Amino acid sequence: MSLFSLVKRCSKNASSVVANTTSDESSASRTQSLKRMQQSMALIPSGTTLLEPNSLAAEPVAQSEPVLVNSFYIDRFAVTNAEYEAFVTSGMYDDMELWPMEVWQHVLQFVDGTGRPGPRSWSVSKPPRDRLQHPVTGICWYEAMAYAKWLGKRLPDAAQWQRAASWHTGQNGQQAALRHPWGNSFDSAKANVWSSGAGSTVPVDKYHEGCTPNGVHQLIGNVWEWLDEAFVVPWNENHLLRGYAETRGGAFDTYFESQTRSQFRSGQPLLFRGANVGFRCCINLDELQVNSRLPHDCDAV
């Protein structure tokens, strides 16, 4: 078993790792727990990020507004098939507390190819054995939300995801955000997109060169990532297009380089269960600090 999966298994519920650490325990034990979590999650320090407004290109592009993001931890890797299998085998598709009431009627349809609960691409509630370390796909936005809730985490929102993916150059005194985690120039060797030629998902720890400076992998490419953010597009003065959740980062089949930028925003219907959409989780730093003292700058950057 890889260190990655070991750590993830140990820290199944991220908040409990720290929250369960009582004041009686030694600070060494707390540090140990924190270290374990930091192997699977990276701290994103607080700061601002410029969100591009959701608009159609034909419309005049409004000015980007800076959004303040508080410090948070984000998964270094997208959730894998192996990790999601634990959620399925624990019977979480039957635990209605995890699912919002409006989606109860649909949960019965969240089945795999054999009609059993699980992602669309699985069979008999099991992922393909040769793709255990690939990102889980074939799950809708509600399934991603339920998984995150089960772990005591949640999905990042648009500002958080972008803060994690686009780093500032700081050149010429300008706080210009990079177009990709590695820089401004697109490079198909650093992300699994259409021009990389893989043609399908790859394990979540591939394309190491494309990870962020603090070690978050595949924010660009491999799979789009569901966000806890509605994708709303102003259609005309009186009308907004709704019903979609935002997705970010592009996938193995994303064709245009411009659509693999960290700032590019897209969306899918909430019940969409495509083969190129996965997710990763995050947790706010202040949620972790409820029962324990954490250093603010543990391994950021």
Partner 1 sequence: MKTLQYYQAVQSYMECVVCRNGVIDSGVDRCHTCHAPIELTKTIERRGVPGKLVSVLGASGAGKTVYLGMLLDMLGKGSNDLCGLPNGAFSMAVQEQTIAALEQRRFPEKTASEPDRWNWVHCEAFSQRRPRHRVDLITPDLAGEALALELEQANTYLTIRSLVSNSLGVMILFDSQRVRDAGRLEDIFGVKLLTYICSLHSLGAKERRKKVRLPVSIVLTKTDCCLDAAEDAQRFVANHLPGTMQFCKQRLANFSLHAASVVGSVMRACDEFGSETQIPLHVQPRGILEPLQWIMQQMEKR
Nearer to partner 1, 53 or 66 (CB): 53
- CB-nearer residue toward partner 1: 107 or 193: 193
CB of 154 to partner 1, least distance (A): 23
In angstroms, the CA 107 to CA 175 distance is 44
Task: Please tell me what DSSP assigns to residue 98.
Answer: G
Residue nearer to partner 1 on the CB measure, 153 or 265: 265
CB 5, min distance to partner 1, A: 30
- Between CA 105 and CA 110 the distance in angstroms is 10
Residues that bind partner 1 (CB under 8 A): 56-58, 194-195, 197, 233, 235-236, 239, 241, 244, 247, 250-251, 253-256, 258-259, 264, 266-268, 272, 274, 276
**Number of neighbours of residue 286 by Cβ within 10 angstroms:** 11
Task: Name the minimum Å distance from CB 244 to partner 1.
Answer: 7
Q: How far is the CB of 56 from partner 1 (least distance, A)?
A: 6
Task: Tell me the H-state helices in 140-291.
Answer: 141-150, 158-165, 285-288
Q: Which of 54, 100, 11, 35 is nearest to 242 (CA)?
A: 54
Q: How far apart are CB 256 and partner 1 at their closest, in Å?
A: 6
User: For the purposes of burial, counting CB atoms within 10 Å of the CB of 62, is it exposed (0-12), middle (13-18) or buried (19 or more)?
Assistant: exposed
**104 versus 256: smaller Cβ distance to partner 1:** 256
104/235 with CB nearer partner 1: 235
Q: Which two tokens stand for residue 213?
A: 């400076």
Residue 4 CB, nearest approach to partner 1 (Å): 28
User: Smallest gap, in angstroms, from Cβ of residue 253 to partner 1?
Assistant: 4
Is 129 or 239 the residue whose CB approaches partner 1 more closely? 239
> Smaller CB distance to partner 1: residue 90 or 114?
114
- Could you please report the per-residue DSSP string of 144-155? HHHHHHHTT-B-
What stretches of the chain adopt beta strand conformation (E)? 41-44, 47-51, 65-69, 72-75, 224-236, 239-248, 265-269, 277-278, 282-284
Q: Dihedral of CA 122/41/155/221: which sign?
A: negative
